[in-house]
């Protein structure tokens, strides 16, 4: 039983560790670096957007308005805490 756990951990860890060492030594063109840098933002957007629509399923526009307010506040360069508070207050006020 312990050998199965050890084997599964090795099979899980190797595909994560090997690329980290290989990618670190490679040189990419600037446009590839810009593209790779945008992946976390795209993934975060894909995770957040369904939640925006599910704030009030019967009124999805409220969540969309809160998301737009959060995007505008973030674009203005405010602290992430203020962005979240602004979005929460917007959704709260539109839900009254």
Whether 87 and 69 have beta carbons less than 8 Å apart is answered as yes
* Annotated domain spans of the chain: 1-37, 44-96
pTM strictly above 0.75: no
How does pLDDT run across 25-52, given as a tens digit for each residue? 888 899 998 998 888 888 888 988 999 9
Per-residue pLDDT of the chain (96 residues; tens, 9 = 90+): 899 999 999 999 988 888 888 877 888 899 998 998 888 888 888 988 999 999 888 999 999 999 999 999 999 999 999 999 999 999 999 998
Burial class (CB in 10 A: 0-12, 13-18, 19+), 87: buried
Measured CA to CA, the distance from residue 17 to residue 20 in angstroms comes to: 5
Query: Which backbone phi and psi does 26 adopt, to 5 degrees?
Result: -85, 150
């Amino acid at each position: 039983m312990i050998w199965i756990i050890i084997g599964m951990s090795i099979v899980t860890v190797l595909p994560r560790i090997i690329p980290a060492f290989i990618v670190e030594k490679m040189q990419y063109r600037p446009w590839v670096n810009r593209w790779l840098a945008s992946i976390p933002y795209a993934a975060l957007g894909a995770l957040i957007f369904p939640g925006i629509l599910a704030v009030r399923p019967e009124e999805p526009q409220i969540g969309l308005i809160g998301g737009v307010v959060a995007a505008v506040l973030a674009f203005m360069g405010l602290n992430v805490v203020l962005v979240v508070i602004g979005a929460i207050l917007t959704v709260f006020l539109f839900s009254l």
